[in-house]
Amino acid sequence: MSEATDDGARERWAARRRLVKQQTKALDSVDRAELIAQQQAWVREAQALTDLPLAITGGAEEVAAIPRPRGPRGSPRTRSWPRIPPWCRAPGMICASTTRPTPG
């Protein structure tokens, strides 16, 4: 990769980081629908700066707002959520990720 291309890529990523920092500061308690629409607009704007997907991590409030699967009669499921993939539940298998192990 040439130095000019590398500098251009670095500048785009720096601009993207500045944009995300600015957006993070702007977040406050606004209407949830407005907040979601604004975040989607910001994601599109950030994705226009680079061709790689934007990694967005939610805070505790966003994670707590994720609807959980419910069991019969509206009670929470007794199984853990998210479910453990079957290849991680094999006897004697220690699975640190959710990717399928390669046979070998």
- Within-domain flag for 55: yes
Check pLDDT > 80 for residue 90: no
Mean pLDDT of 26-54: 72
- Within-domain flag for 43: yes
Check pLDDT > 70 for residue 20: yes
Find out whether 47 and 20 touch, Cβ atoms under 8 Å: no
Find out whether 87 and 103 touch, Cβ atoms under 8 Å: no
> Domain range for residue 64?
3-71
- Within-domain flag for 77: no
- Within-domain flag for 10: yes
pLDDT of residue 32: 66
Residues 6+ away with beta carbon under 8 Å from 38: 30
The domain tally of the chain equals 1
- Within-domain flag for 86: no
Mean pLDDT for all residues in the chain: 67
CA quadruple 78, 83, 84, 87: dihedral positive or negative?
A: positive
pLDDT of residue 43: 83
Residues in a beta bridge with 76? 70
